[in-house]
Amino acid sequence: MRYFITGTAGFIGFHLARRLLREGHTVTGYDGMTAYYNLRLKEARNAGLAQFPNFTGVQAMLEDRAALEQAVDAAKPDVIIHLAAQAGVRYSLENPKAYLDSNLIGSWNIVEIARQLQIGHLMLASTSSIYGANPQVPFREMDRADEPMTFYAASKKGMELMAHSYAHLYKVPTTAFRFFTVYGPWGRPDMALFKFIKAMLADEAIEIYGEGKMSRDFTYIDDLVDSIIRLSAIAPSEDNRVSMPEGLDTLSHNAPFRVINIGGGQPIALMDFIETLEAIMGQPTKRVMLPMQQGDVPRTFASPDLLVALTGSKPMTSLEQGVKATVEWYREHYQPLAL
């Protein structure tokens, strides 16, 4: 298969591209190499992908319509997987325009090019942040998701709606997958786990928001990648509509379009997460308890039912396994990169 993946210098894009390349697929990666965090990490990920002869890397911004169109046209992909975005819930409070440019204008460029080239399957990375502070748990794809807590979440919901309209008008099969608190090796420096590890190794206090009363449905990176690859072979159509139980499937009645959670449905309390990290690192944390940050939600909790119905699997890596693998990677790679 031929894949075009945006954001291959990013955390998720790197892991997905590497897995596909190892399996013998052809991957064209597209990344703007923005300086949202230390570029040394992105460059190291790129170097890992460049070792594969069936990888082609393109450095350009999503907003550069001509460069994006040229790259996709040259790649001639069977599947486009759009992962590139301005990430970070809290940063959207400081620089909302970055989210407008990347997550809305950049994503519109992707769906427009997919229309022009009639791509066989367009896949878009959305987020659990779309559910906001939904009081109903677990979060189901059919739940109302019209009360975003941040502009980041609003931009992702806008992307989903644009993509649905294009799927309806131009019949491009489209899957929007909503992922839940992804973590693992090669993660971003601004992610909580890496901030905690870095502070603990320096014998510094960690900052715990929401007085530690939050919970998250953590998803290990390998599980997320496995789910994306399984879903890439299931382009939405009436042929794969899930009929039972009634109301489970989000396949549109007006378009080859589906939204789907990628999460294990096993939320972990923040303090349990910290205690797991302490046990693995063999040391206690120094803690600074802080109030909930603006835009944060008290919990995330995925319903994996539709994912299981379509793929026969869901994220299963235990928190202990995932955190242990991440700590081991951090000790070997992260510190030498001086991040």
Strands 205-208, 286-289: pairing is parallel
Question: Among all residues, which ones are annotated catalytic?
Answer: 152
From 337, 71, 256, 172, select the one nearest 84 (Cα to Cα).
71
